[in-house]
Amino acid sequence: MIIGFDLATRLCGWCAGTGAETPIAGAFEIVERQHLGRMGAEFQRHVMAVQRRFNATHWVVEKPLLLPTDTLHKLERLYGPAFLLWTLAEKLGVECAGVDQSTVKSDFTGMKPRQVDKDVMIAMALKLGVTLPAMKVDGRADAADAVGVWKVGVRLFARSHLAKWDAAIYGRRGLV
């Protein structure tokens, strides 16, 4: 079982599945964003709830993207959850891999990363048959991003199922 995580400062997407069947996706909201300790505890509760539900052996996380305009405040709230996720994986004996955003976008869509926006990610997740949250405010785009992360996880950890998902995205030829 693989869980793909798309981390953010407010809505975090997740997607879980073995690769043999259509994965399940969703998002959770981090309400506490001011106090780092409480934010970390809340984030951990959400991650552990997803892990208890799916009992994954592998986690894949999209590495946080550093922008020149990011403030220290934002960096603390973005890199903290990533660090905590990797720590939890280590404690639980879950293999964890990090992938960059451009890899996720190109692998999931077959397009150049600069051509891929949130609407494209949503369309691709729906093309795979994944049910996403209905509204943007509920994490629709974040869940779609997590589906892309999950698909990279299938490439890394469940390659025998990859052709099915590549064919769904790229057509008969696949990408493998």
Closest CA relative to residue 145, chosen from 86, 113, 101: 101
Q: Is residue 162 part of a domain?
A: yes
Mean pLDDT in each 10-residue stretch from start to end of the chain (176 residues)?
92 95 95 82 95 97 80 77 92 95 85 84 92 91 95 94 88 53
| Residue 54 main-chain phi, psi, to 5 deg | -110, -15
What is the reported pTM? 0.90
What the block records as the tokens of 8 is 């953010």
CATH number for the domain that contains residue 73: 3.30.420.10
Pairing of strands 24-29, 11-17: antiparallel
User: Which helix or strand (DSSP H or E) is residue 168 part of?
Assistant: helix 162-170
State the total domains in the chain.
1
| Residue 35 main-chain phi, psi, to 5 deg | -90, 115
Q: Is residue 176 part of a domain?
A: no
Domain residues for 101? 2-170
pLDDT score recorded for residue 129: 93
Q: Note the helical H segments in the chain.
A: 36-54, 72-92, 101-109, 118-127, 140-157, 162-170
**Cα-Cα-Cα-Cα dihedral of 153, 155, 157, 158, to 10°?**
110
Closest CA relative to residue 122, chosen from 100, 140, 149, 103: 140
Residue 88: CB atoms within 10 Å: 17
pLDDT score recorded for residue 69: 84
Q: Is residue 175 part of a domain?
A: no
* Strand ranges across the sheet with 95-99: 24-29, 11-17, 2-6, 58-62, 95-99
pLDDT score recorded for residue 122: 92
pLDDT score recorded for residue 174: 43
Q: Is residue 51 part of a domain?
A: yes
